[in-house]
Amino acid sequence: MEPQDTALWSAFLRGDEQSAAALIKLYYNTLINYGNRFCTDKDLVKDSIQDLFLYLWANRATLKETQHVKFYILKAYRRRLLKEVLKSKKYVSQNFDEDQQFDLQLITESSAENQLIDSEYNGALAEKMKRIVSMLSRRQQEIIYLKFYLDTDQKKIADIMGLSQQAVYNLLYDALKKLRLISKGDRKIFFSVFF
């Protein structure tokens, strides 16, 4: 899908309204699912997507070509949503720490997660997997989501989250190690979900 994304992005930058609509349609559900994992206000998540695309459209003359449109948009959306959440802290969990940027409370009942789990496992295994993932730190959950649910490589995760590649590697390693320990009694869950 990358060549199609790149062509749409190029046309978008030239002011093609149909390409703008196609990009919104292409990424809307991905951005909704991503935003809902970090913000409990569904309207704020949707408004931030709309604001992002309005901003991109208004500033398209200053934007650059990219070969990685999906990750460019994810990164821009993450920054915009964080900015809005910081403006309105009432939507953020009590444990929010500004120094940790977007380390917000994940919502483990996301529809994408449930679809993946429900399609592969029966109810008991799905509940066990949710419980296991919820035991990870919020940043580890975000990295697991980006890596395994959005199939993002570590370099792009680092870019999206504003971390070094080494920090991403360390967080991912620690998350997988913790998942292995937690699911030690049932390796079938761990390996079938993540590998």
Check residue 179 and give its pLDDT.
79
* Inter-residue contact 106 to 37 (CB < 8 Å): yes
More confident residue, 111 or 58: 58
Domain ranges of the chain: 2-95, 111-194
**Whether residue 1 has pLDDT greater than 50:** no
Summarised one tens digit per residue, pLDDT across range 112-143 is 444 444 454 445 555 666 777 788 888 888 88
Identify the band that residue 186 occupies on the pLDDT scale cut at 50, 70 and 90: low
* Inter-residue contact 73 to 31 (CB < 8 Å): yes
Mean predicted confidence (pLDDT) in 173-181: 83
Its CATH architecture, for the domain 2-95, is Orthogonal Bundle (1.10)
User: Which CATH code fits 111-194?
Assistant: 1.10.10.10
CA atoms within 13 A on the CB side of 131: 9
Summarised one tens digit per residue, pLDDT across range 30-54 is 999 888 877 788 888 999 999 999 9
What is the rounded distance in angstroms from the CA atom of residue 11 to the CA atom of residue 1? 16
Token pair listed for 160: 């999206």
